[in-house]
């Protein structure tokens, strides 16, 4: 496949013209080639188009930890057929080399095989309902099959937790999920999970270093996308994989639920038991059918859906940022909750691995939800728990009360899931929760939604709400108020500049309070060995900077998926002698201090930027 030189305008500057010509010659997708050719023609007369073209070819979309994410556009700097095929080829090459060297691909479950380890290696592939997701998934399957490996594709657009479940359930050697999670409609992504041996705590979790860098090297060596071998020997799974997920998820969550709700259906002739009224939005994503299935299997009343957001729609017409953390994203769900008198308002992001919760018109923070879920899990299944260094220290306090091990990790479930081989619960403040790590080695918005609904139902039967439960929890561990500031940059280099300035000139005071300590993970962290945390309390090197004000803290971190600088704030206020009556006063003091600290941080960010 070649494109004649005359296809490009002669006025296109070198060396850009040469890079574009080489890419066009190797791009297997006719629509992507046509898009790039049109942009080249526009670039001759439109400086903005030339800047766009140069941006696409300035650097390739990097295959970092977990995989790829970027805008849907032709060229090496976007998500497109050529980039996806090369990514799949790099993953397949890594699997062949790893299996040949270790014989790891020898599972005994459905889809696994014996004999030649490389030939037995299995990749299970899922996708959401975004633009081109299915096409990218099927292309990945063809590339994997063309490399002589086994490829199974999920039966349709499904939540990311179903794919993560399938990796462990089918004992696959790797999993691919085509999704950009909560990014805007113009984006897509390519998330990678690794299998591994049974004792490995990372089996079925997102990949980490050094595998990510090794796979990226193999992607770079994959050769022209148009020449990558394809095969149609892949197979599409049927609906039983979803049924298996629903059955396993419901059984696991009911086992963790408040005792009175393990059998929520009344005996014949008895009055129907009280249930929480739930309003729910999948934010135009793929969560609705799976969530409905787990609610029904658990004996809960169906949630009332936000009609205009119920069906998958890759354009996300009602939410420019389909992220329940973003201001306004849950407005329709909150309005529906008010109309129907809901006890609980739930939202999942487009691939349903995150879950947001509102009660009485108030959005709970990810930390509040995480602590409620952790408390419930530890009542039924005491064991190690983990969260990230940007999440609330309340989990540490709760673990101390329960007498269990607490682990703190870098941001991301790839780290949380590897925090402890016996992990029973993990969460991060960005609305991600793992209630059953043995089932799904990642965050799971479906099981989180089910668990929250069961907890709210049990509370309602006692005349309580989730807000009351939060107060009861604060009486035991103190008030932990958290907040976040997020600054979006059009020029991503300014984020690095702001972090450098912060490190070189950290403020001695914030909100008229002395900064009592600092932590810089660029200098204090260590390089990970095979993706495992080196020791308790020691974290891998990362671009994270923390300021302490006594027990309060402020953490600065560039986003790993968006051009944002994120700042996480936490204020800790003890509750006198664990008195429930003192919680309200302690919460008011904490909120006042958090508000003052937020103003100071806004001023600091303005000076840094």
Q: Cite the active site residues.
A: 181
Q: What angle do CA 570, 574, 576 make, to 5 degrees?
A: 160
DSSP assignments along 548-590, one per residue: EETTEEEEEEE-SSSSEEEEEEEEEE--GGG-GGGHHHHHHHH
Q: How far apart are CA 467 and CA 359, in angstroms?
A: 7
Q: How far apart are CA 26 and CA 28, in angstroms?
A: 6
Cβ atoms of residues 441 and 447 within 8 Å: no
Among 401, 368, 389, which residue's Cα sits nearest to residue 521? 389
Among 483, 543, 535, 486, which residue's Cα sits nearest to residue 519? 543
Q: What are the phi and psi torsion angles at 440 (to 5°)?
A: -125, 115
Q: How far apart are CA 245 and CA 234, in angstroms?
A: 22
Query: 378: Cβ–Cβ under 8 A, 6 or more apart, which residues?
Result: 385, 398, 399, 402, 404, 424, 425
Q: How far apart are CA 95 and CA 366, in angstroms?
A: 36
Cβ atoms of residues 188 and 130 within 8 Å: yes
Burial class (CB in 10 A: 0-12, 13-18, 19+), 408: buried
β 304-305/278-281 pair status: parallel
Task: Encode burial over 29-44: b for 16+ CB neighbours within 10 A, e otherwise.
Answer: beebbebbbebbeebe
DSSP 419: S
Q: Would you call 273 helix, strand, or coil by DSSP?
A: coil
Cβ atoms of residues 37 and 24 within 8 Å: yes
Two structure tokens written together for 402 = 């329960």
Two structure tokens written together for 228 = 């990558």
Task: Encode burial over 113-135: b for 16+ CB neighbours within 10 A, e otherwise.
Answer: beeebbebbbbbbbbbbbbbbbe
Two structure tokens written together for 574 = 């003890």
Q: How far apart are CA 551 and CA 555, in angstroms?
A: 13
Tell me if the bond preceding 210 is cis, omega within 30° of 0: yes
DSSP 518: E
Q: In what order do the strands lie in the sheet with 406-409?
A: 406-409, 385-388, 425-428, 432-434
3-state secondary structure 291-335: HHHHHHHCCCCCCEECHHHHCCCCCCCCCCCCCCCCCCCCHHHHH
């Amino acid at each position: 496949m070649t494109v004649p030189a005359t296809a490009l305008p002669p006025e296109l500057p070198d060396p850009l013209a040469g890079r574009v010509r080489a890419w066009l010659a190797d791009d297997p997708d006719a629509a992507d080639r046509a898009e790039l050719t049109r942009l080249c023609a526009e670039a001759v007369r439109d400086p903005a188009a030339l800047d766009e073209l140069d941006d696409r070819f300035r650097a390739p979309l990097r295959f970092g930890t977990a995989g790829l994410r970027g805008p849907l556009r032709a060229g090496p700097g976007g998500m497109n057929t050529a980039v996806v095929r090369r990514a799949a080829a790099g993953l397949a090459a890594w699997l062949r080399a790893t299996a040949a060297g270790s014989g790891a691909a020898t599972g005994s479950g459905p889809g696994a095989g014996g004999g030649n380890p490389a030939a037995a290696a299995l990749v299970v592939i899922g996708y959401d309902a975004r633009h081109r997701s299915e096409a990218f998934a099927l292309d990945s399957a063809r590339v994997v099959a063309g490399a002589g490996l086994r490829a199974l594709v999920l039966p349709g657009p499904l939540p990311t937790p179903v794919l993560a479940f399938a990796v462990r359930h089918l004992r696959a050697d790797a999993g691919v999920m085509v999704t950009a999670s909560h990014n805007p409609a113009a984006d897509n992504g390519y998330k990678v999970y690794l299998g591994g041996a049974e004792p490995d705590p990372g089996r079925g979790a997102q990949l980490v270093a050094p595998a990510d860098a090794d796979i990226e090297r193999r992607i770079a060596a994959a050769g022209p996308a148009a020449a990558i071998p394809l095969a149609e020997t892949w197979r599409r799974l049927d609906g039983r994989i979803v049924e298996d997920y629903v059955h396993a998820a419901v059984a696991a969550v009911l086992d963790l639920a408040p005792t009175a709700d393990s059998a929520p259906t009344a005996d014949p002739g008895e009055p129907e038991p009280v249930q929480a009224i739930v309003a729910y939005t999948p934010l135009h994503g793929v969560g609705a059918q799976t969530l409905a299935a787990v609610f029904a299997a658990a004996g809960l009343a169906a949630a009332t859906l936000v009609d205009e957001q119920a069906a998958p729609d890759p354009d996300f017409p009602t939410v420019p940022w389909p992220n329940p953390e973003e201001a306004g994203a849950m407005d329709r769900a909150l309005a529906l909750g008010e109309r129907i008198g809901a006890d609980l308002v739930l939202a999942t992001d487009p691939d349903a691995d995150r879950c947001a919760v509102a009660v009485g018109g108030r959005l709970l923070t990810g930390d509040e939800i995480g602590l409620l879920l952790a408390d419930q899990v530890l009542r039924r299944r005491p064991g190690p728990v983990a969260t990230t260094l940007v999440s609330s220290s309340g989990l540490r306090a709760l673990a101390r009360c329960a007498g269990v091990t607490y682990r703190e990790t870098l941001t991301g479930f790839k780290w949380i899931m590897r925090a402890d081989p016996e992990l029973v619960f993990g969460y991060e403040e960005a609305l991600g929760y793992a209630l059953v790590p043995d089932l799904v080695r990642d965050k799971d918005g479906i099981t989180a939604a089910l668990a929250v609904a069961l907890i709210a139902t049990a509370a309602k039967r006692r005349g309580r709400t989730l807000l009351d439960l939060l107060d009861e929890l604060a009486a035991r561990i103190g008030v932990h108020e958290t907040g976040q500031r997020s600054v979006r940059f059009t020029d991503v280099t300014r984020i690095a500049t702001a972090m450098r300035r912060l490190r070189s000139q950290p403020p001695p005071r914030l909100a008229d309070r002395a900064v009592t300590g600092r932590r810089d993970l660029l200098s204090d962290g260590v390089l990970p060995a095979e993706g495992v945390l080196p020791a308790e309390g020691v974290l891998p090197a990362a671009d994270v900077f923390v300021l302490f004000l006594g027990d309060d803290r402020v953490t600065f971190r560039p986003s790993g998926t968006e051009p944002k600088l994120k700042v996480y704030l936490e204020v800790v206020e003890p509750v006198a002698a664990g008195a429930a009556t003192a919680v309200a006063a302690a919460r008011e003091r904490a909120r006042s201090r958090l508000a003052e600290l937020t103003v100071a941080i806004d001023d600091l960010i303005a000076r840094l930027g």
